[in-house]
A and B are shown apart, each in its own frame.
Chain A
């Protein structure tokens, strides 16, 4: 079971090789043994998981199993799950047991999947290293002195260390793709609007998008088939026909036009990262791909634009945390204003407060046009660059992250350095495009490198095909971090 993919677990459950209870118990045992040293999970509730597993086995016995019935999945702690502590990595929600399910959780419940637990994350998904979590940093299974990336770092580390066969994540500026790259797994951020944001605690609503994290492209597709779908409770949810995202997996890649933006390969990325990505591009050439030079001239602007728009939306979204209806409330206050101010000062961590202040400033009187409107105009320029590029290519490839996993503490004192680690991923969110990361090699220190694949709107099936064909020809995605094989006890 250790190396089984979601697909293999599903097949094993179908053939009766093992039960959902057995699979769930196996992963709960792995979590119990390894989570102390990795800190991937904020909440684990074995009884609740096993109850779901028993229900899944009963469903199967009655002949009502679906593809993911009985498979255990880890859920990022940003998704509200009824009866589960749902903290979003924050002290502000450290006592919040959700009274309702997010759309994504409803979908997995309806599919009969088992919730293995809630994974650690940067506070309110604001971070690229998991160091801003109220629950302490997640450790990268490849080197425990290093970060797993963020903000979906707990999900990424859990999948990499085989504490869960797959997990959910969310991506506002790279929070699925960058941790996937830094931990050697696969992650997909779908086209904006494909996965409902209902019950997914909001950070920057025009950019936030949930998506799957797993070890193979095929598993990503199995999860996306459940996660994607129209939902009236998210006003930006898109109404589209249901599709099987794995329908094109086996198609050959002959004639695939791979666009390489020169901006992705200019100064900035480490030599080891570039080398691994170039190796992947060479592999695609062997698979029949045709390389096309493209340009995204405004890409460098994506980081400054993002750090106006995302904090502006965050300052508005996070105003709901006031100590009145849910969550933390300060213990010592006189009047209402003091209650608000102390609750928020004590309940939010430093990075979250920083972003709320940036947002409040750029939206304040006299600065709105200079910052917010200007950023929205540049967002259009950045999106148009992609429209131009996709006139001559089918997918765009480049590095996911400019470096491999950095040391815990290395960038936490310098927000700007931290922000720049998302230089290759942010533009994709601004444009609303789908993007993914798959493992494509290692640096000289043995740390995984991620290849980013960016597709045109709604081309997830094509992207999964592109990733799957690469994974048939290479074995980077099956490598496991050292020291995760055996149980410690």
Chain B
């Protein structure tokens, strides 16, 4: 399953990473080598094995559905101080709905 140039551009779009034609080409050749390595997985019959998603087979712990962070303006201010653009406690992004 070799990656085509279109595959590279498609996943770059899925991942929301701008990519030039030149970058897509060099990425394609690097990914080809990596997917050759990944292809070694095909040597094993896995039909009878259950997938393992977690190192300890533990049950996902759930918590009560309630707000745990303080909601005071100071707390919000502290977290928004690191945002690129805010106004009146809101995060600013380009207009989405005209």
Interface string of B32-70 (1 = CB under 8 A from A): 011011111111101001111111101011010000000
**Could you say which residues of chain B place their CB within 8 Å of the CB of A357?**
8, 11-12, 15, 17, 27, 31
Taking CB atoms, residues of chain A closer than 8 Å to B88 are none
- Interface readout for A98-134 with B: 1 if CB under 8 Å, 0 if not? 1100000000000000000000000000000000000
B60 to A, closest residue via Cβ: A235
Q: Does A96 contact B (CB under 8 A)?
A: yes
B71 within 8 A of A: no
> Secondary structure at chain B's binding surface: helix, strand, loop or mixed?
loop
> How does the 8 Å CB contact mask read for B4-36 relative to A, with 1 for contact and 0 for none?
000110111011111100000001001101101
Query: Which residues between 194 and 229 of chain A lie within 8 Å of chain B, taking CB atoms?
Result: 206-207
Q: Are the C-beta atoms of A419 and B37 separated by less than 8 Å?
A: yes
Please classify how large the interface on chain B is, using the bins under 10, 10 to 19, 20 to 34, 35 or more: 35 or more
A325 to B93, CA, bound (A): 10
Contact residue among B37, B39, B55, B60 (Cβ-Cβ distance under 8 Å from A206): B55
Partner of B11, one of A193, A236, A364: A364
Name the CB-closest residue of B to A431: B55
A334 to B12, CA, bound (A): 19
A33 CB within 8 Å of chain B: no
Closest CB-CB distance, B84 to chain A, in whole Å?
A: 4
> Is A361 in contact with B3, judged by CB distance below 8 angstroms?
yes
Q: Which size class do A's interface residues fall under? A: 35 or more
Min CB gap B74→A, angstroms? 11
Residue from A206, A327, A377 in contact with B50 in the complex, judged by beta carbons closer than 8 Å: A377
| A contact residues around B96 at 8 Å (CB) | 336
Contact between B51 and A377, CB atoms less than 8 A apart: yes
- Does A136 count as interface, using CB distance less than 8 angstroms? no
Please give, as numbers and ranges, the residues of chain B lying within 8 Å of A298 by CB-CB distance: 44
B18:A307 contact, CB within 8 angstroms: no
Tell me the complex Cα distance, A405–B55, Å: 30
Q: Which of A67-75, A263-271, A341-349 contacts B (4 or more CB under 8 A)?
A: A341-349
Asked if A360 contacts B15 (CB within 8 A), the reply is yes
Most buried by B among A345, A370, A381: A345
Contact B1 A370 (CB under 8 A): yes
Q: Contact at B27–A304, with CB atoms within 8 Å?
A: no
A308 CA to B95 CA, complexed, in Å: 36
**Which residues of A sit under 8 angstroms from B18, Cβ to Cβ?**
338, 341-342, 344-345
Known: A303-B37, A344-B15. A383 touches B91 (CB 8 A): no
Does A325 lie within 8 Å of B91, measured CB to CB? yes
Instruction: Specify which chain B residues have a CB less than 8 angstroms from the CB of A432 in the assembled complex.
Output: 54-56
Who on chain A is nearest to B40 by CB?
A304
- Please report whether the interface of chain A is mostly helix, strand, loop or mixed according to DSSP: helix
Q: Does A301 contact B (CB under 8 A)?
A: yes
* Complexed CA–CA distance, A439 and B43 (Å): 36
Residues of B within 8 A of A415 (CB): 30, 33-34
B33: contacting residue among A95, A356, A416, CB under 8 A = A416
A340-B55 contact given A307-B38, A374-B46, CB 8 Å threshold: no
Does A353 have its Cβ within 8 Å of any Cβ on chain B?
yes
Residue B94 CB within 8 A of the other chain: yes
Would A324 and B46 count as touching, CB distance under 8 A?
Answer: no
Complex contact B37–A307 (CB within 8 A):
yes
Within 239-286 of A, Cβ neighbours of B (below 8 Å) are at none
A337 with B40: CB separation less than 8 A: no
Q: Using Cβ atoms and an 8 Å threshold, which residues of chain A touch B37?
A: 303-304, 307, 416, 419
- In whole angstroms, what is the CA distance A163 to B43 when docked? 47
Pick from A238, A323, A370: contact of B84, CB below 8 A.
Answer: A323
Which residues of chain A in 328-377 are interfacial with respect to chain B, using CB atoms and an 8 Å cutoff? 328-329, 333-342, 344-345, 348, 353-354, 356-361, 364, 367, 370-371, 373-377
Min CB distance A238 to B, Å, is 7
Measured between alpha carbons, how far is A31 from B52 in the docked complex, in Å?
Answer: 44
With contacts A336-B93, A345-B17 taken as known, whether A329 is within 8 angstroms of B44 at the C-beta atoms is: no
In the complex, which residue of chain B has the Cβ closest to the Cβ of A348?
A: B17
**Also in contact, A375 and B41, with CB within 8 A (given A99-B82, A324-B91, A326-B82):** yes
Known: A336-B93, A340-B16, A361-B11. A383 touches B82 (CB 8 A): no
Residues of A within 8 Å of B53, CB to CB, are 206, 376
Within 415-431 of A, Cβ neighbours of B (below 8 Å) are at: 415-416, 419, 430-431
A329 touching B39 in the complex, CB below 8 Å, given contacts A99-B79, A357-B27, A376-B52: no
A381 contacts which of B33, B49, B85 (Cβ < 8 Å)? B49
Contact A364 B27 (CB under 8 A): no
Q: Point out the residues of chain B lying under 8 angstroms from A99, CB to CB.
A: 78-79, 81-82
Taking A333-B94, A342-B18 as known contacts, 17 extra A-B pairs with beta carbons closer than 8 A to each other, sorted by chain A number, are A238-B56, A303-B37, A304-B37, A304-B39, A307-B34, A308-B41, A326-B82, A329-B84, A344-B16, A345-B18, A348-B17, A353-B17, A380-B50, A380-B51, A414-B33, A419-B34, A432-B56
Q: List 25 contacting pairs A-B, 8 Å CB cutoff, sorted by A.
A: A98-B82, A238-B56, A301-B41, A301-B44, A304-B38, A307-B37, A324-B83, A324-B84, A325-B83, A326-B82, A326-B83, A329-B85, A336-B93, A338-B18, A344-B15, A353-B17, A354-B30, A360-B11, A361-B31, A374-B41, A378-B46, A416-B33, A419-B37, A432-B55, A432-B56
